[in-house]
Amino acid sequence: MKILVTGGAGYVGTPLVQQLVNDEKVKEVIVYDNLSRNNHNFFIGRDYSNAHKIRFVHGDLLDSRKLKKCVEEVNVVYHLAAKISTTATNTAGHMHEQVNHWGTAELVYAIEESNVEKFIFTSSISVYGSSTNLIDETSGIINPKTLYGISKMRGEEHVDRLKGKIPTYVVRLGNVFGYHKSMRFDGVINRFMFDAHFNNRIRINGSGKQSRPFLHIDTAKEVLAKLVHAEIPSSTFNLVDRNLQVLDIVDVLKEIYPQLEFIFINQHLQLRELKIQPKTFLYSHIPYQLEGNLKEELLAFRKEYAF
């Protein structure tokens, strides 16, 4: 089996590739990435036990000729490449539209003309916008509030065309957190950990009472890797393992860093809420750990810092 992973050098892509190359049935993993974040940690270290299975292609989603050539070589495609933004930002609309919407469209066109047997697309829970109620895949109304969420929703619309042709899974990830070498520090928990560890001060937007769905990086990589062999009908799934208020995270950080200082920015504002049912439909097919011990996870994270 040959697998293509777009965005394979990113935060979720790096551990996923590590997981896939350890699968005896996987002959080769093509990592297709434009390295737009200038994060080259994917190429550093000796932690690929089957490194001979990895082939890197420096390419852009909108380079349809190069992309199509890679698609023609593989059996399975993971589509992780995206222009990312956090819930606190709502900028770069043109890039979100170009990469997340039309880049996904280019990939779908290429797959439709290929012999690909399975497609896995990582979308985002941001397509739901906001909700004060606990929602799942059937109760959640698609109503994105950010340019990023809108672009992921439009990407999903292209992917949906494949569901009647090959096994196709749209996986809406929660806010991913936790240590891995291809780190991102723009998500709330990872950013808090960096600021708490090195600056002893964190900034909280709004009241801190807003809830968000989260997903540990280890859970993300394990569930996504298992989808390569899963015999599940084509569908759209949420993938989260807990919901936390921002103040819940702060309480745990204060246990780890007792002298921690924190300041509120626009404390009077009530920011958007979103709560996702952790025991998702995907959980019934691929059980994963729910409600992990946040303090233990963050202590393990802290051990990875250089000083």
Res 91: pLDDT: 53
The per-residue pLDDT for range 201-219, each reduced to its tens digit, is 999 999 999 999 999 999 9
What residue ranges in the chain does DSSP mark as E strands?
2-6, 28-33, 54-58, 76-79, 118-124, 134-135, 168-173, 175-177, 201-205, 211-216, 235-239, 242-245, 261-265, 275-276
Alpha-carbon distance 103 to 41, whole Å?
A: 24
Mode of pairing for the β-strands spanning 168-173 and 118-124: parallel
pLDDT of residue 132: 87
Per-residue pLDDT reduced to its tens digit, 109-140 = 999 999 999 999 999 999 999 998 999 998 87
User: What 3-state class would DSSP assign to 210?
Assistant: coil
DSSP per residue, 30-95: EEEE--TT---GGGSSS--TTGGGEEEEE--TT-HHHHHHHHTT-SEEEE-------TT----HHH
Confidence of residue 88 (pLDDT cuts 50, 70, 90): very low
pTM given for the model: 0.94
- pLDDT score recorded for residue 93: 66
Query: CA 304: distance to chain centroid?
Result: 21
